[in-house]
């Protein structure tokens, strides 16, 4: 049985947990050689060994790290067929209380880092290459206390439209995946206590028409499809995967 990504070289930023890890595993299962990145050396090395990937320590919020990442990937593999720009953070604040540090920390990783990861990898992505950006339904929803995070994802979606036009001339496709409520440990990683996380989860669950949280593996399968030749006529598109959350019916 043929594999969707057989013989491809893939890079997954933020590939040590959650959607990034699930996607790296799915890429490997579909025949790709995979590079994962992360900011913590121990996590990167441990995860890479467990899933049989190449691990490179890299902070998407630092342009020098992105430069080093591209150099290492080019030196080892020569090119990249698939780039999944997944690394990102979630932090919450009201508009009134948001500090410059809060703004810069989110934007430096989620948008600036994503922008320059794309820009700096392009010279080693050949014709037929595919890029996927991890966005969010927050790019188009009005969730309270998420102004900077939502703006960072909205910026990614705007970048997608321009990039799809520019990259088409190079024979490179680019799309965005916009998850809604996915069961990951992302909220715990930003310092919220268990009670707060449980309250948030309960309130969110009531807004999901399918009455469950999505799985990282489900997002991974969507990213894998978009990265494969089966999606060869798809570019510049935003794919929402949220259990119907974005429908937000007024009655019923």
Q: Which residues are designated catalytic?
A: 149
Residues 140 and 102: their CA atoms lie apart, in Å, by 20
First-to-last C-alpha distance (Å) of the chain: 45
CA neighbor of 133 nearest in space, from 149, 167, 110, 100: 110
CA neighbor of 182 nearest in space, from 245, 247, 242: 242
Nearest-10 Cα torsion for 114, 115, 118, 122: -160
Q: Which residues pair with 35 in a beta bridge?
A: 11, 54
What angle is formed at CA 241 by the lines to CA 207 and CA 153, rounded to 5 degrees? Answer: 90
């Amino acid at each position: 049985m043929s594999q969707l990504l057989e013989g491809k070289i893939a890079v997954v930023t933020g590939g040590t947990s959650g959607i990034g890890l699930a996607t790296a595993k799915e890429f490997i299962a579909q025949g790709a050689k995979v590079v994962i990145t992360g900011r913590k050396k121990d996590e990167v090395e441990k995860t890479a060994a467990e899933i049989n990937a190449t691990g490179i320590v890299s902070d998407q919020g630092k342009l020098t790290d992105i430069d080093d990442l591209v150099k290492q990937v080019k030196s080892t593999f020569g090119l990249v067929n698939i780039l999944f720009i997944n690394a990102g953070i979630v932090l919450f604040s009201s508009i009134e209380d948001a500090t410059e540090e809060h703004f810069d920390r989110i934007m430096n990783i989620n948008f600036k880092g994503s922008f320059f990861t794309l820009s700096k990898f392009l010279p080693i992505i050949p014709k037929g290459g595919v890029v996927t950006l991890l966005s969010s339904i927050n790019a188009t929803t009005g969730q309270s206390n998420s102004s900077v995070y939502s703006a960072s994802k909205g910026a990614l979606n705007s970048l997608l439209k321009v990039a799809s036009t520019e990259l088409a001339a190079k024979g490179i496709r680019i799309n965005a995946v916009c998850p809604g409520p996915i069961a990951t440990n992302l909220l715990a990683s930003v310092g919220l206590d268990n009670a707060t996380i449980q309250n948030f989860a309960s309130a969110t669950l009531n807004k999901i028409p399918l009455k469950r949280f999505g799985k990282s593996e489900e997002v991974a399968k969507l990213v894998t499809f978009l990265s494969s030749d089966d999606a060869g006529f798809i570019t510049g598109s935003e794919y929402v995967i949220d259990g119907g959350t974005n429908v937000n019916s007024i009655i019923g």
